[in-house]
Structure 1
Amino acid sequence: MDCVKCADTGYLVAPEGEMAVARVCDCQIPCPVCDDTRFSIDYSVTPPVTRPCGCIQLRKRIEKFNEAQIPARFHRSTLENYEELAGNQAKIKMHFNRYRQAYEPGAKGLLLSGIPGVGKTHLICGLLRHLGLELNKTVRFVDFFNLLDMLKSSWNDDKGDGDIMNSLASVDVLAIDEMGKRPMTAWELSVLDQLISRRYNSRKTMLITTNLAIDTAGQSQNVKRRRLVDEVQERIYSRLIEMCDFLEVKGVDYRISKQ
């Protein structure tokens, strides 16, 4: 490893305001290959050929990642530094690593259910980071509360959609954090249904976290959690079943365990 700052990735991610923001590492300024001309010469062929330098793609990946709106709190979140503290967290981490290695455009997504504090958002943000910065995919993170507000603001009485809706519907990978966080009105359900349906029809990948239960079987009556299907209703839930693999993350709330 030549650069201890970026571990030879060429980029650094840091908190900036409310968001995680990537930038080119100092080790790539100027570009050690093209000296910032943005072109390199390939001498492996005869005659030598001038090609676009890889630093162009690096900057494009960074630009795409910075549109993801990953929260600043998770700027360091990677799959590698996810801590398997208890329950099935080691198994879940392994599942995410396999998913990362096998990912292809339009791949079936992941829906993570579990109590607060088991690292669901960390895993999702770590996967988004890889897909955006390493695989050059367009990714977007949105909190469920913010999602409903954004969909409201995008609504157009004439067309029923808008720029925000189109953006959320078209990104390669959309992550929704804490789905079902609060009850929804009938109107909010209809707009969420439109978003899910558009991504379903265009075979776009979704990553979802929720504190709600996937299956209440076996839960103690004293601690029984609300069910996701009751909050998003059957039509949306049915689409999610086809679009995502459902995973239950079991463990302890790390925030409480550290007190």
Structure 2
Amino acid sequence: MALGMAPKNGEACGVCGGRTYVLERRGDQAQARVCVCSESCSVCGGRGHVLVEREGVFSQKVGPRRYEVMEPCVCTRRRRRVSLFNEVGLPGVVSHAGFDNYRAFNEAQDRGRGVAMHFAHQYVKGGTDTKGGPAKGFILSGPVGTGKTHLLAATLAHLVLEVGVRARYVEISLLYATIRRGFQEGKSGGEIIGPLSDVEVLAIDELGKGRGSPFEMETLDELIARRYNAGRTTLFATNYSLEPEKKAPRAAAPPGYRTTEDARNAVREAELLRERVGERIYSRLCEMCTFVELPRDTPDRRRTRQEMDSPLHHAPGALRGAGR
């Protein structure tokens, strides 16, 4: 994004819109930087800290006394949060994802945005809810291209840049690949999982993806178990259904015979997240997260955009020819 001029007469900056930071894509990563309008700080004059007056009671005899302490300036906190955001690991393709530019095609998507936005705006740094317990995350389920990663990115961006939360994003199959490469370099899986276990908020994308090998299942189980036991908040997105269990079995077909309905049921069972991650992990997800499932007929936004931009869509007679 091009650099802009500092705002004048109290007007919002045309580059950052008043946020004081800019989000942009750098290679395959989403990155942040301090906006040009906020590079020079009028509060501390570039010192990075300010004196703040406080009041406290050090003895009952003396009573309240006022004193000054040195605190980081708002510009220092801004730079720290920008640095934290650049460690999250969000994909570059969602660098500009926000709640305001998420397009909902149906009521379920609108609810998904509402759940994510409420979580982000109500989250208290430290990971506790209003009752003092672990803050409950959410899991978004739906077909590909329905904006699940968009909402994860919007949530993490708000938590990191507006609240100052340390967070990470990981796509599960890439995590498996990273651990395998680590084995070749003499690293243990725990060395890679450790930082993901300890971070305050973790977003795991594409949950359930993979071959379901013992290595993958053990890795996923260890990561979720560590976070569950530590009471840390975790967000998820998956292409697999959140339905709790298989449908009741139909009457068995004769040996050697497989009906169309049998085949459909087998596919449907494979699409359940519970089948992909196992009972232990699924049970913990039920306690850790609010479930949001998007209908199977929710439009693929990427595909819809491509079809709308296609020359065939705009060609004369395209609609007439489509029905032939």
Q: TM-score, normalised by structure 1?
A: 0.89
CA distance in 2, matches of 1:51, 1:233: 48
> Who is 2:299 aligned against?
252
TM-aligned CA distance change 1:217 to 1:56, over 3 Å:
same
Counterpart contact for 2:112–2:140, Cα < 8 Å: no
Greater CA deviation, 198-207 or 103-112?
A: 103-112
Deviation for aligned residue 1:86:
2.6
Q: Of 21, 24, 29, which aligns to 1:14?
A: 24
CA distance in 2, matches of 1:135, 1:153: 34
> Who is 2:108 aligned against?
88
Q: Of 17, 24, 34, which aligns to 2:34?
A: 24
CA distance in 2, matches of 1:70, 1:129: 9
Q: How many pairs were matched up?
A: 257
Per-residue CA shift, 1:8-35, capped at 9, x if unaligned? 2211011111101101110111112222
**Structure 1 portions without partners, runs of 5+:** none
CA distance in 1, matches of 2:233, 2:67: 43
Deviation for aligned residue 1:190:
1.2
CA distance in 1, matches of 2:123, 2:100: 17
> Who is 1:232 aligned against?
277
**For residue 228 of structure 1, what is the amino acid of its counterpart?**
L
CA distance in 1, matches of 2:150, 2:42: 33
TM-aligned CA distance change 1:233 to 1:48, over 3 Å:
closer
> Could you say what the CA RMSD is over the residues aligned between the two structures, in angstroms?
2.7
> Who is 2:203 aligned against?
175
Per-residue CA shift, 1:74-115, capped at 9, x if unaligned? 000011211112342122212222222221314111111101
Per-residue CA shift, 1:155-203, capped at 9, x if unaligned? 69x9965332111101111111111122221122112111110000011
**Structure 2 portions without partners, runs of 5+:** 1-10, 56-65, 128-133, 248-260, 308-324
CA distance in 1, matches of 2:288, 2:72: 37
Q: Once the two structures are aligned, what percentage of the paired residues are identical?
A: 35
Give the secondary-structure state (helix, strand or coil) at the position aligned to 2:163: coil
Q: Of 117, 124, 128, which aligns to 1:97?
A: 117
**For residue 302 of structure 2, what is the amino acid of its counterpart?**
R
**Matching of residues 39-118 of structure 1 within 5 Å:** 39-42=49-52, 51-104=71-124, 105=127, 106-118=134-146
TM-aligned CA distance change 1:86 to 1:189, over 3 Å:
same
Deviation for aligned residue 1:68:
0.4
Q: Of 222, 226, 230, which aligns to 1:194?
A: 222
CA distance in 2, matches of 1:51, 1:10: 20
Counterpart contact for 1:39–1:51, Cα < 8 Å: yes
CA distance in 1, matches of 2:282, 2:236: 12
**For residue 178 of structure 2, what is the amino acid of its counterpart?**
M
> Who is 2:152 aligned against?
124
Deviation for aligned residue 1:149:
2.0
Give the secondary-structure state (helix, strand or coil) at the position aligned to 1:57: helix
Give the secondary-structure state (helix, strand or coil) at the position aligned to 1:236: helix
Deviation for aligned residue 1:153:
4.7
CA distance in 1, matches of 2:213, 2:229: 24
Larger-gyration structure (1/2): 2
**For residue 163 of structure 1, what is the amino acid of its counterpart?**
E
**For residue 238 of structure 2, what is the amino acid of its counterpart?**
T
